[in-house]
């Protein structure tokens, strides 16, 4: 908990409030990402079971920004309700809704128009690529979730029409390390799983390309 400007600065830089590094108790390694585990699979650093605090809230640190004088920056925040039969199912429902929202075009959300019903789909036993009937109006790809991750993460992408599409992963030096998809797909929204087995910890770029369009995002493998 930050009680001073120095505390907040340390936490914004991935440290504890007193400036000491965070140690991931699941593997004993230094990390900048607290509670980076997956509570659904019970892997990695997760909050202790049955030990929920009495308060609720969130703190966000962003930057640095290279903005022109008097320029602005849009930040979109979504409060996503989810209710299942227990707290674990509720988390799964919330995760699915968040992933679907990330696949929508920015302008659609920015102006408060969500033309799709957001239904929950249990992905526990789904195949690596799953198609839905949601058709976006442009090529889109979501931020992977979870992120950081180890070893699996999920990526959602949308195609406005049938076309040849490729989805590839590159390391920070631009070298291709994986091809997740390279084929013709019908219009719609797709969910694809990516297993990082064999890749070292670090930042990677995933890029979707179709015809003359491409979209790239960063993801973090954290062992």
Q: How far is CA 44 from the centre of its chain?
A: 16
Q: Which two tokens stand for residue 111?
A: 């102006």
Q: Is the pLDDT of residue 51 over 70?
A: no
Q: Is the pLDDT of residue 148 over 80?
A: yes
Q: What is the pLDDT of residues 163-209, one digit of tens each?
A: 999 999 999 999 999 999 999 998 888 888 899 999 999 999 999 99
Band of pLDDT at residue 142, cut at 50, 70 and 90: confident
Q: Which two tokens stand for residue 93?
A: 């429902």
pTM metric for this prediction: 0.48
Set out the domains of the chain in order of their start, with CATH numbers.
Answer: 35-49+68-221 (2.60.40.1930)
CB distance 209 to 165 below 8 Å: yes
């Amino acid at each position: 908990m930050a009680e001073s400007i120095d505390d907040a600065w340390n936490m914004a830089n991935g440290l504890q409030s007193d400036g000491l590094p965070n140690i991931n108790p699941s593997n004993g390694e230094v990390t900048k990402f607290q509670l980076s585990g997956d509570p659904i699979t019970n892997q990695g650093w997760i909050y202790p079971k049955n030990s929920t605090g009495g308060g609720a809230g969130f703190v966000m640190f962003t930057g640095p920004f290279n903005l022109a004088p008097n320029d602005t920056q849009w930040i979109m925040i979504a409060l996503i309700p989810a209710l299942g039969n227990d707290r674990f199912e509720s988390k799964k429902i919330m995760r699915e809704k968040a992933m679907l929202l990330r696949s929508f075009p920015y302008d659609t959300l920015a102006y408060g128009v969500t033309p799709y019903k957001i239904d929950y789909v249990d992905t526990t036993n789904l195949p690596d690529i799953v198609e839905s009937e949601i058709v976006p109006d442009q090529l889109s790809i979501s931020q992977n979730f979870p992120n950081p991750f180890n070893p699996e993460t999920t990526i959602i992408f949308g195609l406005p029409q049938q076309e040849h599409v490729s989805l590839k992963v590159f390391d920070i030096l631009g070298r291709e390390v994986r091809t997740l998809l390279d084929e013709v797909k019908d219009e719609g929204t797709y969910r694809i799983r990516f297993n990082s087995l064999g890749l070292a910890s670090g930042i990677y770029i995933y890029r979707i390309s179709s015809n003359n369009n491409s979209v790239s995002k960063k993801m973090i493998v954290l062992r």
